[in-house]
Structure 1
Amino acid sequence: MVKIKIAFASEENAGLESRLSPHFGRCPYYVFVEVEDGKIRNVEVKENPYFSRHVPGAVPQFIAGQGAKVIVAGGMGPRAIDWFRKLGVQPVTGVSGKIKDILKDYLAGRIQLEAEPCGEHKGVGYRI
């Protein structure tokens, strides 16, 4: 039995129908999906408690605290990627679209499990 909880940065509170956010820390919601043996067992939407304020490292700790082992977002900075990895959460970036479609591709192995810092953060002293 393979169980995993995946977090998706979301632009809206529409569950799997939500659009993925282009940036993990500046999204208003996170969609948490529990998958067991390739089947969706639970979907939960939570508000980003740090949406209106910037607290370095707080979002990665929040995501890890929810039990997620993967975070999917359109992009994130290098420090956030490091935070997630240190907390045992695999960051995945460079994807876009509806969460249900991204999840389907992820479960089918069509999404690479890697993260590259998004362009706005490369070489910039942006802090997460």
Structure 2
Amino acid sequence: MTMICVPTESDIGPYAEMSAHFGKTSYFVFAEVENGIIKCYESKKCTGRHEGGTMTPAEIIAESSADILICGGLGSKAISILTQNGITIFSGASGTVEDVIKQWNAGKLSSTNENSCPKDN
């Protein structure tokens, strides 16, 4: 079983649009995937710093049960936190949660790591 996390703009599960700004995402949708089949979804409110919390979205995901993050893009600090916690990142996605998981399943997304992101100045 693989747990995939997708940052989203709303809490409507598979139909939620992926958030355009990872660092300011409002929700996360977690999807359990087994043998390419989505078994269940769970939406969670992001209580990150931009929502009055104390952690960044990357720190929240690092403490979750996620194995994979699918997003449009993210910064090098988030990449570092996630990869150090064993989370594989796929970027370049767009659409709904259901869409991006299909893109991942079809091998259409790029794996992202610290070497594929420009350094912060």
- TM range, normalised to the smaller chain? 0.7 to 0.9
Q: Which residue of 1 aligns with 2:69?
A: 71
Q: Secondary structure at the match of 2:59?
A: helix
CA–CA distance in structure 2, aligned partners of residues 95 and 113 of structure 1: 11
How many pairs are equivalent?
118
1:12-31: CA deviation from partner (whole Å, max 9, x where unpaired): 11111011111222110000
Q: Secondary structure at the match of 1:25?
A: helix
Q: Supply the RMSD in Å over aligned alpha carbons.
A: 2.0
Q: Which residue of 2 aligns with 1:46?
A: 44
Q: Secondary structure at the match of 1:109?
A: coil
Q: Is the 8 A contact 2:76 2:119 kept in 1?
A: no
Q: TM-score w.r.t. structure 2 length?
A: 0.85
CA–CA distance in structure 2, aligned partners of residues 111 and 42 of structure 1: 21
| Structure (1 or 2) with the greater helix fraction | 2
Alignment of 1:87 with 2:111, yes or no, is no
**Gap change, CA 1:88 and 1:123, over 3 Å in 2:** closer
Moved over 4 A (4+): 122-125
CA–CA distance in structure 2, aligned partners of residues 79 and 54 of structure 1: 18
Superposed, which structure 2 residues align to 1:2-21 within 5 Å?
3-21=1-19
Q: How far is the alpha carbon of 1:99 from its aligned partner?
A: 1.4
Q: Is the 8 A contact 2:31 2:38 kept in 1?
A: yes
CA–CA distance in structure 1, aligned partners of residues 90 and 52 of structure 2: 23
Q: How far is the alpha carbon of 1:46 from its aligned partner?
A: 0.2
Q: Is the 8 A contact 1:61 1:87 kept in 2?
A: no
CA–CA distance in structure 1, aligned partners of residues 31 and 79 of structure 2: 20
Q: TM-score w.r.t. structure 1 length?
A: 0.81
Q: Is the 8 A contact 1:72 1:93 kept in 2?
A: yes
**Gap change, CA 1:54 and 1:77, over 3 Å in 2:** farther
Q: How far is the alpha carbon of 1:36 from its aligned partner?
A: 0.9
For structure 2, list consecutive stretches of 5 or more residues without a partner in the other structure: none
